[in-house]
Structures are given as structure tokens and as C-alpha cells.
Amino acid sequence: MKSIIQYEWLQIKRNKVSVILLIAIGMLLILSMVISWNYYNWYDQQQQQVSQNARHHWETQGEKNSHSAAHFGIYLFKPLSPLAIWDNGVDKHYGVSLFVEAHARNQLQFKAIEDNPLLARWGELTPATVLLVLLPLLLLWLAGNSIVNDRLNGTLKLMITQGVSVRKLVWAKALTLWCISTVMITSIWLTGGILATVLSRESFFTISSLLLLLLYNIYAGVFIHVGLLVSMKARTRRSALVTVLSIWLLAVWLVPRVFVQWSEKQWPAINTEAFLTKIKTDIAFHGLNSHGAEGSKEKELERKWLQQYGVDSLPQLPINWLGVVLQADEDINNPIYDKHYDSLYAGYYNQMAIHRWSGWLSPMMPAQIASMAFAGTNLQNSEHFYAQTETYRKVFIKKLNDHLRDNSLYGGRDTGRGDYWKTAPLFEYQPTAFINKWKQAKWSFLNVLLWLVVLLIGMHIIAGRVKNISNPVA
């Protein structure tokens, strides 16, 4: 086995195209890590600095009433996961910051895709992109040429006559390619882990990152064994080359693209303007307007509070009526916002459900879905951040409304100063727990693993049936 592995490695080194591809993929992996490191470093510094500045502006906004302060608002920023240096997922598409204010549930902002249209069309060079898209091409090339070359140059016949079984030969070739892919993947994983750990307040080397490493090795193994199956069946180098290139195009480009377009057709995303108009209309009919409109909800609210304090008119209340109405606005309108945003995310998740079906034709999208889940950069993680900001917003605004209600009377305004603004709660983002990451990644991870298991069994069976050891013309 050892001599076969050494022979296979020697054959790879002698093939100029293989060497060029190995060097090219290696250089792209290094370049992608440099790009990811630079972005991660830049964003981490910006996130800390801007978050501190936003808090400082809030605390030093000067003397004003609580409702004016609620409209002054504050920006919240999402810290990057350490594993984002490997796979930045959807963060650059969905945004990483939110402006918190009264009466409104704003959308995520600072989307890198808006500043770089090429990012939307071509994506970004990250270690995940190189390993998902380009490494399979290298492995298919190496594996696809492997056995057919031995058959054509007579090496396969010679080995068999010396007592080496085809099955043993094939497994030795697979092990050689596994070593190559594992070294490449593990090296870039360790490099990214060390760099991310230096910058981040969290550790890169977690169970999630270990599963990420395992996922990419399994994914690479799928293409190794597909290539070897092609090589066992191919009669010529040309047919092997055409077949592996066709498989690569089908697996990493055509199948994912078809399923993405199908999902968008089945569950089209509503544009931002139409979405916000829909919410505004719903609030107009079923919500509460705290700035002057009179309706049944406002009158019912007034009766409730007059009865509670046993008075006949709003000026007789020992509190500021405006604070009551403002908080009622939040309490009544928040469920309307929740309903529409839940519907929006449900549409995205329905699209993702269709994406997962592509796993029966290609391992590409399941691997991508699992990768983003383990890295903490998928859609669920973005929604997780958004949900925490909304929880914070509700507490933040209620504190201001209650202060206005309890510290002034009808027609007046409370006065907030620096010491009071400092009592506003700090936003502390809680990353997605590992158990939730696993739930999000589980079926996609197992899908990729199933591909590998089926191919391993198939290769083992077919290798035992290879009878043709003649030297057909290339």
C-alpha cells in the first residue's frame, strides 16, 4: 500500500497540469484567507469603535425629554463569529447593524452587497468558496486521470500481474488524494483559527469549528470518489476529462443555480418598499397611532386608565398621559410588526427548504448550508441577532416611555440628563448556542455524509469488478 501511495504521489508531481492546479488552489486558499483576515480585522475594529461611539453619543445627548431621546435612538452592531473568517455566509447580504428608535422596527443596515454590486453577482473569495467550488475541480482532475492513465500506460496490467488487486490499488489512490485534500483543508483551518483567535474575544477552536473541518473533508472525499469511479469506467483520457468537467459544472454550478431560481419563483421575496407599505397599512387599520389619531383603541385605553385612577378627565391623572399612549402604541403595534417579519423570514426559510432538496443531485448546497450554520453566519443567525435587537428595543423604549409617564403630568414633558441616559441597558449579543447550530446543520451535514458513504460502497464494489486491463488507444 505504501509503495502504491508513493507511486501515485510521484505521478501527480510529474504531471504539469496537476502541479499547476495544486499550486493555484493553494495560492487561492492563502489569498482568500488574507482577504477574510483583512475584512475580519477591519470589521472587528470598526464594530468596537462605532459601538462605543454610538453609546457615547447616547449618554452625552444632553438635556431633553424621554420621547425625544427615543427618537434620537441608538445603533446596535452584530459582532462577527470567529468562524466568519472561514465562511462569512449571509452577513454581507442581510446587514450587521440596526438603528433602534420609537414607533418603528427598522431593518438591518450596512450591507456590503449594496456597496459592491459584483459581490451579488460573483460572490466573494473566501476559504469556504475555494473549498466548495475550486477544490472539487482539482480533486476530480487528479482522481479522474488516475486509473485511466495506469490502464493506458500499462501500469495497471503490470501491478495486477504482480499480485496487486484493483481494489487495493484504487483504495491506495483514494488515500493519496485524501491526504492531499486533508492537508490543504486542515492547514487553512489552522491558519484561520490562529488568526481569528488573536482578534476575537471568543475561541475559534470549538466543537463547531471541528465539525466544520470534518464537513469539508467529507465534502472533498465525495469528489475524490466520484473522480475515481469515472476513472475506472473511462476508456480514454479525453472521456475521463470531459466527464469530470461535466460533473463539476453540474454539481457546483448548474444544480445549485436551478434550485435557487426555482425557490425564488416559488417563494418570491417582497421588495422593501412594498413590505414596509404593507406594515404601515396594517398598523393604520389594526394598530394604534400615538400621535393624534382618535379611534376605538385610543378611547378604550382612555376609559381603562380613567377608571384605574378614579378620575373624570385626562388632565386629572397623576401621570403623563402621553407616556401611557406611547407605550400602548408599542404594545399594540409590536405584534403587527412581529407578524409581518415572521412572514418575511418564513418565505426565506421556504426557499432554503427547496435548496436542501438539491442535496439529492449535488452535495454543494447541503455543504454550504451546513458550513454557514457551523460558522454562525447563516440566515437563522442573522434572524437570531435581529430578534435580540428587537427584544432590546422593546425594553429600551419602554424604559423611556415609563420615565415620561411617571416623571411629568398631562401636557408636560419629563427631563432626562446625562446620568439618566447612562442607566439605559447595554446591548449584549448572545451568539447562537452550539445545539441550535447543530439543529440547523444536522440534515445537510448528514446529506453530505450520505453521499460519501454511498460512493465509498460503490467504489469498493466496482473496483472488485474491473476486468479490462488492456491498453486501449487514448
pLDDT reported for residue 341: 92
The secondary structure of residue 83, as a DSSP letter, is G
- Each residue's pLDDT tens digit in the chain (474 positions)? 677 788 778 888 888 888 999 999 999 999 999 988 888 888 888 888 999 999 999 998 888 888 899 999 999 998 888 899 999 888 888 888 899 998 888 888 876 665 555 554 456 789 999 999 999 999 999 999 888 887 877 777 777 777 777 888 889 899 999 999 999 999 999 998 888 887 776 788 899 999 999 999 999 999 999 999 998 888 888 999 999 999 999 999 999 999 999 999 999 988 888 999 999 999 888 888 766 556 677 788 888 999 999 998 888 889 998 889 889 989 999 999 999 999 999 999 999 999 999 999 999 999 999 999 999 999 999 999 999 999 999 999 999 999 999 988 888 887 777 788 999 999 999 999 999 999 999 999 999 999 999 999 999 888 877 655 444 444
pLDDT reported for residue 207: 94
- Asked whether 144 and 380 are in contact (CB, 8 A), the reply is no
Rounded CA gap, 287 and 183, in Å? 59
| Residue 358: Cβ-neighbour burial (10 angstroms; 0-12, 13-18, 19+) | buried
pLDDT reported for residue 143: 92
Nearest to 417 by CA among 40, 146, 58: 58
Q: In terms of C-beta distances under 8 Å and separation of at least 24 residues, what long-range contacts does 301-307 make, across chains too?
A: 301/325, 301/328
Query: How far is the CA of 431 from the CAs of 31, 126, 341, 376, 436, in angstroms?
Result: 28, 22, 21, 8, 10
H-helix or E-strand containing 378?
none
pLDDT reported for residue 389: 94
Query: How far is the CA of 295 from the CAs of 286, 292, 312, 336, in angstroms?
Result: 10, 10, 19, 17
- Asked whether 199 and 41 are in contact (CB, 8 A), the reply is yes
Rounded CA gap, 459 and 222, in Å? 11
pLDDT reported for residue 164: 74
| Residue with the three cell numbers 472525499 | 221
The secondary structure of residue 314, as a DSSP letter, is G
pLDDT reported for residue 157: 77
